[in-house]
Chains A and B, each alone.
Chain A
Amino acid sequence: MASQGVWRTILYHWRQPYRYYFGAKSNLWKQTCFSSKKQPFCSTSPDKTIEQNTALAQQKNFLASLIEMIPAGITAAYIHKGHDTTHGGGEMVLDVPHDKTVPVLRFLRDHSSCLYDCFIDCTAADFPQKPQRFRVVYNLLSLKYSSRIRVQTHVDEVTPIESATCLFKGANWPEREVWDLFGVFFYNHPDLRRILTDYGFEGHPLRKDFPLSGYVEVRYDDTEKRVVIEPVEITQEYRAFDYTSPWEVFPEGGNFKEAEKLPERV
């Protein structure tokens, strides 16, 4: 009996506020705004129309306010996948210069209208045709405003970025991963060493110019009784493709010597 009261109080405190958005039928089709789940820089207002109060518009307003507040830190701000109106808004992306990553992240973490204090991920992407080939991406989440944001920088192989570990302890291993797999150096990182590649591995595997099979292969050598590292030679039997049939053709009786003969050129 007492537990029932406990459950009720828990549910009462946990209740979600009723949202007066698209689902709510109202006689006058007017927007009323009592939601306590605010978007950052709560830009909803009873005076605005429904269209202006959508999540997408709020995100646009938020990015505009950010640009006003930290103009030196942002080179570009856009909304990715914003055309998808069914999901109510796209993904906010900020482009920052490579030396301004930590100030911008600190602003986003600490400012009372942003509060992106949850570090989600640090990754990179390689665009070898660009002079600044690596795009280093930080993803953040604001639990207070239930909003996500992405912070991007572009660097080349030799430019270092300041590590975000001074702000987010969770950035430690993701930055190690970016260093190991791409070669982007993070200064002021407490412990920047390899995390996924083998001990003594040379190269950065996720770069676009690193081949899929790698440069070295590892095998156990019986004469030396240990594992040796050699340049890669992937052996594969010669396979003859008969394009008239969807299945690979094998000779009957399992006589594979016949299949190994080169096909006659037509």
Chain B
Amino acid sequence: MIPSSRGRLLKWLFHRKLSSFKSLKGEANENRMKIDGYSGAYFIVNNVEVRSSILLLPHTGYLWRPQTFAEVTPHSFTLFRLLFPKLDVLIVGGGRMTPHLSEENYRQLSSVCQAFELLKTEDACSLFNLMNEEGRHVGAALIRAGF
């Protein structure tokens, strides 16, 4: 769609689907990802309300395809596999209940990061905030708390 005027251009830009969100100021300690709030149906990350599961890195965040923990496969964590250096801790928020991995999935997940934590989403959010503020290299894969 070719915008015909400047106003239309801005409207088009702002209405694009948000699949990744980060601060435009660049990677610095002040604009780390922080989960300002959560509910059963959404997360509020750096004052942006996101109604989906999310993947969080120290300075960026992405929407995540699996909406419940049952939909999660080892393939879902490929983003973290691409990172260098490897994540210190990968925090997995399984939603309403603590997620449980089979042994094979456990081993595959160990290759993605140095250590991972399987928690309920409520605990995962606060743990991610804490560790990110400290400056550690952590990532989070969070399912919304109601699912």
Contact = CB atoms under 8 A, between A and B. Distances in A.
Contacts of B115: 198-202, 229
B117 A199 contact: yes
Interface residues of B, number: 15
Interface residues of A, number: 14
Interface string B107-120: 00000011111011
Q: Which among A198, A200, A201 has the highest number of chain B CB atoms within 10 Å?
A: A200
B133 interface: no
A193 B85 contact: no
A199 B89 contact: yes
B116 to A, nearest CB: 6
A38 B117 CA distance: 50
A202 B115 CA distance: 8
Given A191-B120, A200-B88, A200-B114, 7 more contacts: A193-B98, A193-B117, A199-B115, A199-B127, A226-B85, A226-B88, A228-B114
B49 interface: no
A191 B122 CA distance: 10
B67 to A, nearest CB: 23
A192 interface: yes
Interface in A176-232: 191-194, 198-202, 224, 226-229
B89 A224 contact: no
Interface string A224-252: 10111100000000000000000000000
Contacts of A228: 114
B131 A199 contact: yes
Nearest to A224: B85
Nearest to B115: A200
B114 A229 contact: yes
Closest 10 CB pairs of A and B: A200-B115, A200-B89, A199-B89, A229-B114, A200-B117, A200-B116, A199-B117, A193-B119, A193-B123, A224-B85
Nearest to B84: A224
Contact of A192 (B85, B98, B127, B131): B98
B137 interface: yes
A229 B137 CA distance: 14
A259 B74 CA distance: 54
Contacts of A202: 115
Contacts of B89: 199-200
B138 to A, nearest CB: 9
Contacts of A199: 89, 115, 117, 127, 131
Nearest to B91: A199
Contacts of B113: 200
Contacts of B127: 199
Interface string A13-31: 0000000000000000000
Nearest to A198: B115
Contacts of A194: 117
19 contacts: A191-B120, A191-B123, A193-B98, A193-B119, A193-B123, A198-B115, A199-B89, A199-B131, A200-B89, A200-B113, A200-B114, A200-B116, A201-B115, A202-B115, A224-B85, A226-B85, A226-B137, A227-B88, A229-B115
A192 B85 CA distance: 30
A201 B123 CA distance: 17
B108 to A, nearest CB: 15
Nearest to A199: B89
Contacts of B117: 193-194, 199-200
A254 B139 CA distance: 51
B133 to A, nearest CB: 14
